[in-house]
Amino acid sequence: MNRLWLVLLPELRKFPEVKQDKALQNARDCELESSELVGIAVWLVLVTSLTKYLLTKASLSSDPSATLAVNIVVDVPLLAVVFVPIHIRRLRRGLRKQLDQQGRL
């Protein structure tokens, strides 16, 4: 088990070590809440608009390598800022749900 998961998901420690991988897999099946979906959609639109603005402002939209560079340098970190915390929140909710079903919360 990756120790980073144990730091990011303290609920995972409540599972026996041999069952942690399975618990994490089950937590990934937890659905996103509507507020998370709206947040992702709004953030995606904002980041896309920013990228389009940067590319047209710098006249880079005709250069595929520049477009790729902007996407990697600007878009990926900006998307990760929102998507990673939402993913971790969903996993924690899924783990808490499993613990609650087992009566160990």
- Say whether pLDDT at 85 is over 70: yes
Tens-digit pLDDT profile for residues 25-57? 999 999 999 999 999 999 999 999 998 888 787
In one-letter notation, the amino acid at residue 49 is: S
At residue 105, the pLDDT reads 59
More confident residue, 1 or 82: 82
pTM attached to this predicted model: 0.82
The residues near 61 (Cβ < 8 Å, ≥ 6 apart) are 55, 67
* Confidence at 61, pLDDT banded by 50, 70, 90: low
Tokens in use for 59? Answer: 């006249």
At residue 18, the pLDDT reads 93
